[in-house]
Amino acid sequence: MIAEKMKSMVANSSAIRAMFEEGNRLAGIYGAENVYDFSLGNPNVPAPPAVKDSIIEILKESDPVALHGYTNSNSGYADVRQTVAESLNARFGTAFHLENIVMTVGAAGGLNVILKTLLNPGDEVITFAPYFGEYRAYVSNYDGVLVEISPNTVDFQPKLDEFEQKITKKTKAVIVNTPNNPTGVVYSEDTIRRLAGILKEKQREYGTQIYLISDEPYRELAYDGVEVPYLTRYYDNTIIGYSYSKSLSLPGERIGYLVIPDEAADSEEVRGAANVATRILGFVNAPTLQQKVVAKCIDESTDLSFYDRNREALYNGLIECGFECIKPQGAFYLFVKSPVEDEREFCQAAKKYNILMVPGRSFACPGYVRLAYCVSHEMILRSLPRFQELSREYF
C-alpha cells in the first residue's frame, strides 16, 4: 500500500539497516569489543560541557511558555538568528543580518526546506560524485532531477569540465559538500573560484539564476590548519546549509540553519518562501530549546584533536597495510580504494575480520569504500591488526 516513490527508497534503506543489524549480530557472537564498525557517521565525541550547562541555565532563566512555545517566526527566534549572523560575520567577514538566517531541523531539514522552496518538477540539481546518497532522495522529494558529475579519483576535487558541460537551462541548483562526505576532501579555493566562474558564465549564457547550495555539516572539522572557503564570498547565489550535529555533537537534537544572503537572486522572496516551507513540511520551527542552546554555545567547538588522532592512526595504519587512500583534510571519513574492482566483494571479505565499511556505490563512486573514524581510538588501534590480515588477501 505504500507510495511507488517510497519503494526504491525503502529497498535502499534496507541495505543500510542490514549493515547495522550485521554489526549487532557480529557483536552478539564475538563481543562488541571485537567488532570494528566503521559504517556509521554518528559522532563519538561528547557535546562540550557548555551544552549541558547552557540547558540548565536556560531552563532556570526562561519562562517555560516562551521557551517551549512556537517561535513568532517559523524561521526561528530573532535573537538566535542575530547571534548566528554576527558570529558568521566575525569569522568570515560577511555582513549577514537576522533575516538571512533560517533556523532548521539540522542540515537535512535545511536542504529539504530550500529544495522545496526552489524546485519545480523537472528542475535539475547538479552534484559531484562521490556524494551523500540522501541528496538523491531530497531532490526527488520535490520532483527534481539529480544530475551527477562523475568522480575525479585523482584528488576528489570536482570535475569542472564535465560540470560546465552538464549545466543546462534547467539547472536550478548545485549542491556541494566540503569538507566532503565520503572523501574528507576540502574543495580548494582555486576549485571554488573556478566553479563560481563557470556558474556566473552559464547564468549569463542562459539568462537564468543558479543557486549554489553548500551543505556544511563538517565545516568545523578541518585538520592541519586547512581553510574551508566560505562560499558566499565567491558567488552571490550561494545558500549555506549548516548543522550543529558535528560541531557540537548534537545530531539527534536536529538543529542547524540556512543562510540566504541579501546578494542571492530574489533573496527576500526566497527567504519568505523558506519560512513557509519550514512550516508546511511539518518542521514548523527548529526545536526551541536547542535554538537557545546553540546561541549560548556559539563560540564552543568540538574536540577536533579526538578526530585528528583517529585520522592519523587509521590513515597511517591502512597505508602501512598497502591500501590506497587520499589523506583527508576534513570531516571524519576515509575513502579507501578497493583492492578489487567490485568493492562489495572487498566489504564482504572485511566482514570475515569483523570489519564493517560502506561500499562506495552508496556515494555514486564504485571501487571505493568509506570508513567513518568517528569511533573510539581504542577500536581503531584494535582494528589495525585485523586490517593487516585483510590486506594479506590482496597484497
DSSP per residue, 126-182: EEESS--THHHHHHHHTT-EEEEEPP-TTT----HHHHHHH--TTEEEEEE-SSPTT
Q: Considering only residues 248-277, where is the footprint of a second copy by CB under 8 A?
A: 249-254, 265-266, 269-270, 272-273, 275-277
Query: What type of residue is 5?
Result: K
Answer for which of 119, 192, 260, 390 binds a second copy (CB under 8 A) is 119
Q: Considering only residues 351-370, where is the footprint of a second copy by CB under 8 A?
A: none
CB distance 364 to 130 below 8 Å: yes
Q: Considering only residues 285-324, where is the footprint of a second copy by CB under 8 A?
A: 285-290
Q: Considering only residues 231-250, where is the footprint of a second copy by CB under 8 A?
A: 249-250
CB distance 102 to 274 below 8 Å: yes
Peptide bond into 179 cis (omega under 30): yes
Q: Nearer to a second copy by C-beta: 253 or 343?
A: 253
67 scored as a contact of a second copy (CB under 8 A) = yes
Q: Which stretch binds a second copy (CB under 8 A): 12-20, 158-166, 215-223, 363-371?
A: 12-20
Query: Nearest approach, Cβ of 312 to a second copy (angstroms)?
Result: 22
CB distance 337 to 315 below 8 Å: no
CB distance 254 to 291 below 8 Å: no
Answer for which of 118, 331, 334, 390 binds a second copy (CB under 8 A) is 118
Query: Nearest approach, Cβ of 338 to a second copy (angstroms)?
Result: 27
Q: Which stretch binds a second copy (CB under 8 A): 6-14, 214-222, 333-341, 342-350?
A: 6-14
6 scored as a contact of a second copy (CB under 8 A) = yes
Cα angle vertex 40, ends 8, 5, to 5°?
15
Burial of 176 (0-12, 13-18, 19+ CB in 10 A): buried
Neighbours of 392 (CB within 10 A): 10
Query: Nearest approach, Cβ of 372 to a second copy (angstroms)?
Result: 12
Q: Considering only residues 176-215, where is the footprint of a second copy by CB under 8 A?
A: 209, 211
Give the burial string for 75-111 (b: 16+ CB within 10 Å, else e): bbbeebbbbbbeebeeeeebebebbbbbbbbbbbbbb
Answer for which of 25, 68, 169, 392 binds a second copy (CB under 8 A) is 68
42 scored as a contact of a second copy (CB under 8 A) = yes
DSSP per residue, 224-244: TT-----GGGT-TTEEEEEEH
Q: Considering only residues 129-168, where is the footprint of a second copy by CB under 8 A?
A: 134, 137-138, 141-143
Q: Which stretch binds a second copy (CB under 8 A): 40-48, 182-190, 310-318, 340-348?
A: 40-48
Query: Nearest approach, Cβ of 134 to a second copy (angstroms)?
Result: 6
